[in-house]
Structure 1
Amino acid sequence: MTSQASPAVGPSTPEAAPAREPAVKVSVIVPVYNPGRYLEDCIASLLDQDMPAGEFEAIFVDDGSTDHSPRRLDDLAATHPLIRVIHQANSGWSGKPRNVGIEAAHGEYVFFLDNDDRLGRQALRRMYAFAKANDSDIVVGKMVGKGRGVPRELFRKTYPAATLADSPLIDSLTPHKLFRRSFLDKHGLRFPEGRRRLEDHVFVIAAYFAADTISVLSDYVCYYHVRRDDDSNAGFERLDPKSYFCFLREALDIVEANTEPGPLRDRLYRRWYRVEMLERLRGKRLLDTPADQCGPLLHEIRTVVAERFGPGVAAPLPPTHRIIGSLAQAGLLDDLLGFADWENNIAATVRLDDLGWQDGTLQLTLTAELRNGDKLLTFAHRNGRDTLDVHCTLSPAGQAALTEADPDCTSRLQKSKVDVLARNRDTRAEYLLPTTFSRTRYPVAEQGAVFGQVFQARATVDIATAASGRPLPTGTWDLFVRITSCGWTKETRLGADRSDAATDHCVPSVDSQRDMMVTPYWTDKGNLSLDVGKHTNRRPAHTGRRLAGSLRRWARNSAKQ
């Protein structure tokens, strides 16, 4: 079905949905503007949903596209009853198309999907069932990013009922969620319209405060957040600092209107301070910012911080963030660039000490650490405290700002952690593997008070349960190690640096429950990957004959069944 949007639709005058039991369970709303080839993956993921076709609909709102998308969508709607298309003049951003979609929706719930992203096959069915089981106003389904950042801590576990006070919910402010339609209407929740940034933050934070029950579904990847190869996603357009932080203040206004001064307000504000401000002033991100934009960006950040944030916002942050914040508030752009250059060289390194199959599970032992260039990242222990050992040249004012920031990281080092994860090479779905680890303080030679932190870790790959309690799906799974320490989260592939024992023990196994081969192997770059049921031709060099024979026997046996 194809139609034209009514020009009267807007955020200020939402109409109540008819009082009826919806036949459609979920309406998926897709704002469309020149998505090019990325639209096909979005469409395919909708047509592939395992929710029965009569129980959901997809509403594509074409916002004046000038590519082939309008015709493609009209042709699609002509052959698929679950597809509806609305055409409208270009509004400049995603807010109005989403509002138009809400007004047109027949579903009990609505879900917002971007035209260059896609859904997991079971996403709608699982999220709807979870919403009904928990009487949820909002369901946040697990996201993974393909070149885009997504919340990770939020999806470490499933929350039948989460709040802004007891979960990392504030880390998820994109609109890619399931919302009860009657809830949106009851509270008059609509997106700000026009060409503007952070319309999703304003909508989502208002919805969080209004909701009675917010649920987080973390045991299935519902949403794939995709970065286009040409960086043409709307969020990657050049930023105008003045207007951007004007829009950001609108989100802060909603927090202020719904909280009292104190720890909760500071905690919520901290998300914008950390992600939208400090992260823009650190490492590669700052170094890649156009020179003519750095000054205005710093000015706007300083202005918002001075206007809105008390000391309680920055105090609990890691030392790296506190240092950047202190340099920023002093207006020291050159020192920020120097610190960013130093930070940009920090990376995780890992050595695979051994691996082997034990009772049907692959056991991995490894040593991991953070390094700056070719040297261990170091800390200084003085007067009973551990402080960050910063090796970059700062101005006298910069040194004073660093001291004022207090680079103490004693408690942060005690909370540092290492995770091992499996990530699907095609879909980018990722699962944390059960991992235990210990921390060791490694003294730097001839400098007794200076040390680095080294992790010894053991991870288990249980093919039967690795996917959040379910079997790891068929495919190629790359293994990564992630270190979180003192404000850094650094990730690296596992296996290129390995012991002879690890090489010797890299042999295939069989998933007896699914009768398929599971083959750990070294990639062309020497990294460790798992081939689950795809029967790769790559093999451990030393066991080539043994592996080839195993694969041939498995293939012959499979052919007979």
Structure 2
Amino acid sequence: MTGDTSAPPKVSVVVPAYNCGPRIGRLVDSLLKQSLPAAQFEAVFVDDGSTDDTGARLDALAAAHPHLRVVHIENSGWPSRPRNVGVAHALGEYVMFVDDDDWLGVEALERLYDTATTHHADVVIGRMAGHGRGVPRELFRRNRFDATLENAPLIDSLTCHKMFRRAFLDEHELRFPEGWPRRLEDHRMVVRAYLLSKRTCVLSDYTCYHHTRRDDGGGVTAVEMDPAEYYAALREALDVVDAHVEPGRLRDRLHRRWLRNEMLNRLRGRRMLEASPQWVAQVAAEVRDIIRERFAPGVAGGLPPMLRILAHLAAEDRLSDLRRFARWEAALHATARVERYELSGTTLTLAVHAWLESGRRPVRVSLEGDRDLLLPPVDGIAPELRDVTKALRSGRLDVVARHVETNEEVFLPVEFTVERVAGPDGTGHAVHRATMTVDVSTVNGGRTAGTWRLKTRLTSMGWMLDALLPLVVHCAADGAPPRVLEDSFLTRLKRSVRQRVPDDLVALAKGGRRG
């Protein structure tokens, strides 16, 4: 049990485990190092019929550590049942779901639990770091202690790796769907939790959860999805929303999340081009049908321009044009330049600018009257779908510090602007600028030791793309003054790229100069 049998644990960590072998060591290490005392939490590992030595490995750990427990079940083939079994065995006031190949920050359980009890939360989401996989970004821009689906981008975070009040799970019978369809089981459970939660908190000032992709290609969710099964599960997630949210702006915005992430993102760029044509055709047919059958006009209408165009092509069954767009987008990237930087003591001042490129050319817009129209590589797109006037004004350029050793990401405070640069042919492109002054010693709540790589994050017209800057900031563990180093490889690469960009951009670029 839990070492201190006089009181239930504060937190139960529920871990579904299947053939994870030694990979589970990093998670176990992070549990044994938690700042929350061992007597105040437990970990319930549910061995889903592993065929390797996972079961024996977990039994040995449980024998050595009383607050680690193991439940063995017959193989179910999917994480849903192990998680549900784990909840049934959990004794904690709160339940934290963790996968067997991920791990926690040392202070994660203590900070999440303190946030939950201070704010009487039903759900608490801790900042995530991705290791070979994407994690939400905008959600973790700041702490949010009364987040809802209306006032925060909660819908961007639908994995189950969160802390839930156990009584809340029981009250609403919130469990993971078992049986078929199996895909997106966490979406169906988590979105219902958001809709029922009286208070949801987002803890963004500490990296609680490290989310990784297995490098051996294992894990049941790594298998290429069957489009019919996958989109049947997606329809069930939409059913959850429709059962709780009336038609209108909020429902459209929630539906838009699945249209953007699970539908259109599979029909664009390299992801589409590298998949088999037969599989892409199946996905395109499913996407077409869902757009036509399930979505109100406001769902696609609220997308940024690039995604509006893709939704239109998908709804019109224009698969060849989707491929043409994908080839163009596969070459698209953000290019960034350092105009100046200066480090004075612990204060770093930085000015950068960035723009979008495809095929070594800036992404062009036509300057027609009082509006800007995107020039996509396909014909027959109505001007109202290509109108990027508002999207250009609302674009932003962030500066992000990424910790080299831990992959933690921190937004740095910036001021940003956008300007249009006209070309000789009646077209133009957008250049985004950002300036920043930050006390390096305060970054990441003062947890700065190590090396931080700087990059820009450009959000414009439906794209969110990172571009590395040729600067790294090294912060010594002993409190010595920080140092800014120029990355020689990136500097050489930057000079090589500069030789190939158009003259008007070269005139703008002042990369690498000190202020």
TM-score, normalized by length of structure 1? 0.84
**Do 1:322 and 1:405's aligned partners in 2 also have CA atoms closer than 8 Å?**
no
Corresponding position: 1:430 with 2:405: no
Greater alpha carbon shift after TM alignment, 352-361 vs 115-124: 352-361
1:133-282 superposed matches below 5 A? 133-194=118-179, 196-282=182-268
Corresponding position: 1:516 with 2:501: no
CA distance in 2, matches of 1:340, 1:197: 26
Cα offsets for 1:259-308 (capped at 9, x unmatched): 11111111111111111111111111111222220111111111112211
Corresponding position: 1:455 with 2:432: yes
Partner of 1:549: none
Note closer, same or farther for the CA distance 1:288–1:429 as it changes in structure 2 (3 Å cut): same
Partner of 1:494: 469
CA distance in 1, matches of 2:443, 2:388: 33
**Do 2:474 and 2:485's aligned partners in 1 also have CA atoms closer than 8 Å?**
no
**What is the CA distance between 1:352 and its match in structure 2?**
1.6
Structure 2 counterpart of 1:88, from 69, 73, 98: 73
CA distance in 2, matches of 1:461, 1:288: 41
**Do 1:22 and 1:106's aligned partners in 2 also have CA atoms closer than 8 Å?**
no
1:81-120 superposed matches below 5 A? 81-120=66-105
CA distance in 2, matches of 1:527, 1:200: 43
Greater alpha carbon shift after TM alignment, 356-365 vs 236-245: 356-365
Partner of 2:311: 325
Note closer, same or farther for the CA distance 1:358–1:338 as it changes in structure 2 (3 Å cut): same
CA distance in 2, matches of 1:209, 1:351: 43
Partner of 1:50: 35
**What is the CA distance between 1:68 and its match in structure 2?**
2.2
**Do 2:345 and 2:481's aligned partners in 1 also have CA atoms closer than 8 Å?**
no
Cα offsets for 1:285-344 (capped at 9, x unmatched): 111222220111111111112211010111111111111111111111111011011011
Partner of 1:309: 295
**What is the CA distance between 1:509 and its match in structure 2?**
9.2
Partner of 1:485: 460
CA distance in 2, matches of 1:312, 1:233: 37
Note closer, same or farther for the CA distance 1:133–1:363 as it changes in structure 2 (3 Å cut): same
**Do 2:441 and 2:448's aligned partners in 1 also have CA atoms closer than 8 Å?**
no
Corresponding position: 1:384 with 2:370: yes
**Do 1:22 and 1:107's aligned partners in 2 also have CA atoms closer than 8 Å?**
no
Greater alpha carbon shift after TM alignment, 148-157 vs 225-234: 225-234
CA distance in 2, matches of 1:23, 1:277: 43
**What is the CA distance between 1:523 and its match in structure 2?**
3.5
Partner of 2:63: 78
Partner of 1:555: none
TM-score, normalized by length of structure 2? 0.91
**Do 2:451 and 2:474's aligned partners in 1 also have CA atoms closer than 8 Å?**
no
Q: Structure 2 unaligned runs (5+)?
A: 493-515
**Do 2:419 and 2:431's aligned partners in 1 also have CA atoms closer than 8 Å?**
yes
Q: Any idea what SS the aligned residue of 1:366 has?
A: strand
Structure 2 counterpart of 1:30, from 4, 15, 19: 15
Corresponding position: 1:356 with 2:339: no
Partner of 1:465: 442
The amino acid that maps onto 2:254 is L
Note closer, same or farther for the CA distance 1:234–1:519 as it changes in structure 2 (3 Å cut): farther
**Do 1:144 and 1:150's aligned partners in 2 also have CA atoms closer than 8 Å?**
yes
CA distance in 2, matches of 1:368, 1:248: 36
**What is the CA distance between 1:404 and its match in structure 2?**
7.0
Partner of 1:39: 24
**Do 2:95 and 2:164's aligned partners in 1 also have CA atoms closer than 8 Å?**
yes
Q: Any idea what SS the aligned residue of 2:57 has?
A: helix
CA distance in 1, matches of 2:447, 2:88: 40
Identity %: 45
Note closer, same or farther for the CA distance 1:197–1:421 as it changes in structure 2 (3 Å cut): same
Cα offsets for 1:381-412 (capped at 9, x unmatched): 1131101122x2x4xxxx23x22762101000
CA distance in 1, matches of 2:370, 2:443: 41
The amino acid that maps onto 2:353 is T
Higher-Rg structure is 1
- Number of residue pairs matched? 489
CA RMSD of superposed structures (Å): 2.1
Q: Any idea what SS the aligned residue of 2:42 has?
A: strand
**What is the CA distance between 1:171 and its match in structure 2?**
1.0
**What is the CA distance between 1:235 and its match in structure 2?**
3.1
Note closer, same or farther for the CA distance 1:404–1:519 as it changes in structure 2 (3 Å cut): closer
CA distance in 2, matches of 1:297, 1:330: 14
CA distance in 2, matches of 1:129, 1:286: 44
Cα offsets for 1:452-511 (capped at 9, x unmatched): 1112322234222111xx214211211111110000011011018xxxxxxxxx9x9988
